[in-house]
């Protein structure tokens, strides 16, 4: 683009030189330069190509399973429990912000998983709005859903084999 502009300016400069033998009265008056048309906006970045085990919903959310889900990036306020094996994830945007859900398995009890998230929420200053034992060793924690725009988290941990199956959901409100 700059090369084309430079060439254009050089050509215009050459056109403006007057022939010394020409009578200045015979030369048409110079017209003021026209304002350049505004540059077209840069095209929106294309969505990264989907990988194996990924799809997009009609609403635009990316759904990942298997190895694709294992690469999901969650916000700092909603970390995945250390050592987790991610089974699936859904990440998307809505009218109020981004959000997502990750299902994973971990070699820790449901109560230990909830204690991890409770400590994390307290450390980063998120208010815990609900912490509940839902029976059959299923535990739930909800935090940060005050509408402050700084993100909300819900974690449900239930027994699975020797550990827990965890559903981690977040929203940037």
| Whether CATH 3.30.310 fits 54-171 | yes
d(CA 143, CA 4): 56
Residue 27, Cβ neighbours under 10 Å: how many?
Answer: 10
State the Cα–Cα distance between residues 26 and 168, nearest whole angstrom.
81
The 10s digit of each residue's pLDDT in 32-90 is: 555 555 555 444 334 556 667 778 888 777 787 766 777 788 888 899 999 999 998 88
Residue 36 token pair: 């350049």
Q: Where are the domains of the chain?
A: 54-171
Cα separation of 4 and 65, whole Å?
A: 48
The contacts of residue 46 (CB under 8 Å, 6+ apart) are none
Query: How many helical (H) and strand (E) elements, i.e. helices and strands, does the chain have?
Result: 3, 8
* Residues paired with residue 80 on neighbouring β-strands, in sequence order: none
Query: Which residue, chain included where needed, has tokens 């409770």?
Result: 118
Give the model confidence (pLDDT) of 124-143 as tens digits. 889 999 999 999 999 999 99
Model confidence, pTM? 0.65
């Amino acid at each position: 683009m700059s090369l084309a502009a430079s060439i254009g300016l050089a050509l215009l400069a050459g056109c403006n030189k007057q022939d010394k033998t020409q009578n200045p009265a015979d030369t048409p008056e110079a017209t003021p330069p026209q304002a350049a048309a505004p540059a077209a906006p840069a095209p929106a970045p294309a969505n990264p190509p989907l990988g194996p085990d990924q799809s997009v919903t009609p609403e635009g959310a990316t759904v990942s399973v298997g190895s694709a889900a294992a690469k999901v990036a969650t916000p700092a306020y909603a970390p995945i429990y250390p050592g987790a094996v991610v089974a699936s994830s859904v990440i998307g945007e809505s009218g109020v912000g981004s959000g997502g859900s990750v299902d994973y398995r971990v070699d820790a009890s449901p109560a230990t998983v909830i204690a991890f998230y409770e400590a994390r929420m307290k450390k980063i200053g998120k208010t815990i709005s609900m912490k509940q034992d839902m029976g059959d060793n299923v535990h739930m924690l909800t935090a940060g859903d005050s509408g402050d725009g700084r993100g909300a988290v819900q974690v449900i941990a239930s027994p699975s084999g020797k550990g827990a199956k965890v559903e981690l959901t977040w929203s940037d409100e």
